[in-house]
């Protein structure tokens, strides 16, 4: 039973490692998709600098986009 228990622990450790690396990949993917842009005026998320410029034109036409 000791061997089986050790195997279980190793599987749990591997699962944790895999979920951690998955999070890392998803963060990189989010950065590549440009999802980190947020409107500094109303905190609305934008999918990129172009989307933020369009957001400024429609929502804050009197303000200048920070890009």
User: Nearer Cβ to Zn ion, position 29 or 57?
Assistant: 57
Shortest spacing between CB 27 and Zn ion, in angstroms: 24
Close Cβ partners of 8 (under 8 Å, ≥ 6 residues apart):
none
User: Nearer Cβ to Zn ion, position 24 or 40?
Assistant: 40
State how far the Cα of 10 lies from the Cα of 5, in Å rounded to an integer. Answer: 9
Shortest spacing between CB 36 and Zn ion, in angstroms: 15
User: Nearer Cβ to Zn ion, position 4 or 61?
Assistant: 61
- The beta-strand segments (E) located in the chain are 37-38, 45-46
């Amino acid at each position: 039973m000791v061997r089986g228990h050790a195997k279980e622990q190793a599987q749990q450790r591997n699962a944790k490692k895999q979920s951690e690396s998955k999070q890392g990949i998803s963060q990189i993917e989010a950065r590549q998709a440009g999802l980190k842009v947020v409107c500094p005026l109303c905190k609305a998320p934008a999918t990129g600098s172009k989307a933020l410029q369009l957001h400024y034109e429609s929502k804050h036409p009197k303000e200048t986009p920070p890009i």
